[in-house]
Amino acid sequence: MSSNSRWLTVVAGAVGLLVVGALLLPSLLRPKPVDRTITVEAQKYGYTPAVIKVNKGDRITLRFKAKDVTHGFFLEGYDLDGKARPEMPSFWVRRPSTGEDFHPVDEITFVADREGKFRYRCSTTCGYMHPFMQGEMIVAPNRLFPVSILLALVTTVFTLLWFARPEGK
Ligand SMILES: [Cu+2]
């Protein structure tokens, strides 16, 4: 085997590995959506937690409690409105866009399928600071796919550099 043909074999092998890697990486790195159970507690004039961070695709099971007086939980962008009274283990929800009435639930489950920042705010007048009672749900985008593209590009560049390396060095 001449050194040229050995070199070609090495390059062909590297290219083959690159192709296989590029094909496999996205499925290996795709994040599995997780189930998150979040209890939001409302108390004059704020929420605990004040910020909810999830990833796009996560399935959120939400429980909502009021600690002092009746509070609301209107989540922008997700068509969700809740209402909770103190001392009650359950709460009430409705989908505002459907015009339905509040109905009692123990929890509500939804998929965080829209990325971005979504404010939640009190939808039941609870006192003089009521208009300022709000929190934020942050739905992070899927960053792993760009990472896999970056890895594939880095591999390509190294392969090209190796291929372009002068012989005998
Ligand atoms: Cu309130």
Find the largest Cα–Cα distance for the chain.
86
Instruction: Please tell me the distance between residue 27's alpha carbon and the centre of ligand 1 in angstroms.
Output: 44
pLDDT of 143: 65
The type of residue at 5 is S
The runs of H, that is alpha helices, within the chain are 3-29, 144-164
Domain spans of the chain, in order of start: 3-30+144-164, 35-139
Q: Where are the beta strands (DSSP E) in 28-115?
A: 35-43, 46-48, 51-55, 59-66, 71-75, 80-84, 91-94, 103-105, 108-111
Instruction: Please tell me the distance between residue 59's alpha carbon and the centre of ligand 1 in angstroms.
Output: 26
Instruction: Please tell me the distance between residue 43's alpha carbon and the centre of ligand 1 in angstroms.
Output: 7
Q: Which residues of 133-165 are buried (b: 16+ CB within 10 A; e: fewer)?
A: bebbbebeeeeeeeebeeebeebeeeeeeeeee
Query: What DSSP state is assigned to residue 77?
Result: T
Instruction: Please tell me the distance between residue 83's alpha carbon and the centre of ligand 1 in angstroms.
Output: 9
Domain 35-139 matching CATH 2.60.40.420: the answer reads yes
Instruction: Please tell me the distance between residue 40's alpha carbon and the centre of ligand 1 in angstroms.
Output: 13
Secondary structure class of 152 (helix, strand, coil) = helix
pLDDT of 165: 75
Per-residue pLDDT of the chain (169 residues; tens, 9 = 90+): 577 777 788 777 777 777 777 777 766 665 678 999 999 999 999 999 999 999 999 999 999 999 999 999 999 999 999 999 998 889 999 999 999 999 999 999 999 999 999 999 999 999 999 999 999 999 988 666 666 677 777 887 787 777 777 675 5
Contact 122, 74 (CB under 8 A): yes
Instruction: Please tell me the distance between residue 110's alpha carbon and the centre of ligand 1 in angstroms.
Output: 23
Instruction: Please tell me the distance between residue 120's alpha carbon and the centre of ligand 1 in angstroms.
Output: 11
d(CA 134, CA 49): 10
pLDDT of 96: 93
Instruction: Please tell me the distance between residue 100's alpha carbon and the centre of ligand 1 in angstroms.
Output: 21
Instruction: Please tell me the distance between residue 26's alpha carbon and the centre of ligand 1 in angstroms.
Output: 44
Of residues 13, 20, 8, the one with CA closest to residue 152: 20
d(CA 149, CA 31): 15
Instruction: Please tell me the distance between residue 119's alpha carbon and the centre of ligand 1 in angstroms.
Output: 14
Instruction: Please tell me the distance between residue 34's alpha carbon and the centre of ligand 1 in angstroms.
Output: 30
Please write the tens of the pLDDT for every residue from 14-47. Answer: 777 777 777 777 666 656 789 999 999 999 999 9
d(CA 147, CA 133): 38
